[in-house]
């Protein structure tokens, strides 16, 4: 029993930490550079640049939920939204021709890419907050399938 609780807590801590790390880094960098430059600076691309951490954290939390047979549906929905929005962020600039910097990123497809970027950022943050408050190992309601 103690060993299983340790595994549960470790998966939760590492998964939640991986998801929220890019957002914490974003806040720290924004505060530091805003103070240095005396103007507000915010790099909204940072969570997408560290998407491998966010996806890794969501997959670890998915392993935790799958292992405990709890709250898998919401996490799968968040993972699908993250994956589709990240796919759109990567593919649309390639197809529109502004991924390499040869053409100026303007117009309809640039706006669509930014919308998907905002969806990715907010969904990743939502997944981190959901992990922090929704699937904490001490607050999980276990199903009959779970065996301790």
At 4-18, the pLDDT tens digits run 677 788 888 899 999
User: pLDDT confidence of 78, banded at 50, 70, 90?
Assistant: confident
Q: What is the pLDDT of residue 137?
A: 61
> What's the mean per-residue pLDDT of the chain?
83
Closest CA to 65 of 124, 8, 26: 8
CA 14 to CA 95: how far, in whole Å?
A: 36
Q: Give whichever of 35-44, 65-74, 98-107, 108-117 has the largest mean pLDDT.
A: 108-117
Closest CA to 126 of 87, 68, 63, 82: 82
pLDDT tens-digit readout, 105-141: 888 988 999 999 999 999 999 988 888 887 766 655 5
CB 51 within 8 A of CB 2: no
CB 98 within 8 A of CB 105: yes
Distance of CA 33 to the CA centre of its chain: 23
132: tokens are: 């922090």
Write down the domain spans for the chain.
2-133
The 8 Å CB, 24+ separation contacts for 85-90 are 85/116, 85/117, 85/119, 85/120, 85/123, 86/48, 86/51, 86/55, 86/120, 88/112, 88/113, 88/116, 89/48, 89/113, 89/116, 89/117, 89/120
Residue 1 has pLDDT above 80, yes or no: no
Q: Taking the CB of residue 81, how many other CB atoms lie within 10 A of it? A: 17
User: Average pLDDT for residues 65-77, to the nearest whole number?
Assistant: 77
117: tokens are: 């970027």
Q: What is the pLDDT of residue 138?
A: 61
């Amino acid at each position: 029993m103690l060993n299983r609780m340790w595994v549960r807590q470790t998966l939760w801590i590492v998964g939640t930490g991986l998801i929220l790390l890019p957002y914490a880094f974003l806040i720290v960098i924004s505060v530091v550079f805003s103070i240095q430059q005396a103007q507000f600076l915010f790099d909204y691309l940072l969570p997408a640049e560290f998407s491998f951490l966010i996806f890794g954290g969501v997959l670890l939390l998915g392993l935790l939920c799958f292992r405990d047979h709890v709250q898998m549906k919401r996490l799968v929905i968040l993972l699908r939204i993250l994956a589709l929005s990240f796919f759109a962020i990567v593919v649309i600039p390639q197809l529109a021709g502004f991924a390499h910097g040869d053409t100026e990123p303007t117009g309809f497809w640039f706006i669509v890419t930014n919308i998907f970027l905002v969806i990715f950022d907010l969904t990743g943050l939502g997944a981190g907050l959901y992990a922090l408050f929704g699937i904490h190992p001490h607050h999980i309601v276990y199903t009959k399938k779970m065996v301790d």
